[in-house]
Amino acid sequence: MKNNIKCTLGVFEDYRGCLLPIEFTGLGFDPKRVFVVNSVPVGDVRGNHSHHKTKQYIVCTNGSVNVMLDDGKTKKTTKLNKNQSIMVPELVWDSQEFLTEDAEILVICSTEYNIEDYILTYDEFIKVINQR
């Protein structure tokens, strides 16, 4: 699977708390949108879609999540703990399973929201992949 390297981010932590800086220069795209997903019941899954054009950089800012990625040929699950991240290229089916009560992800996107960019069913995703 292409371009989906898991990494642990550089964190500054002391008695005052934790500072997690994210530099946009290393993303490989200019961010157009950011959103946070939290308060998801343990075991629930979010995502379950793909994008035609949007690349996403998922950062686990608290707790733990499993990120499931599928490029139509290979399926891969990566566990992210606090301060870990993963890149999700366009045309990759992705889902996030929230493993802890305090789990939270920050998602940085290469495009603004556009429902036309979403592939919402797995069957449609496979059709798109097979037409490439």
Catalytic option among 6, 33, 46, 49: 49
Question: Angle at Cα 104 formed by Cα 75 and Cα 7, nearest 5°?
Answer: 55
Write b or e for each residue in 8-28: b if 16 or more Cβ atoms lie within 10 A of its Cβ, otherwise e: eeeeeeeeeeeebebeeeeee
Given the structure tokens 């919402």, which residue do they identify? 120
Pairing relationship of beta strands 64-70 and 12-14 according to DSSP bridges = unpaired
Known active-site residue 52: no
Under a CB-based contact definition with an 8 Å cutoff, are residues 70 and 92 in contact?
A: yes
Catalytic residues: 49
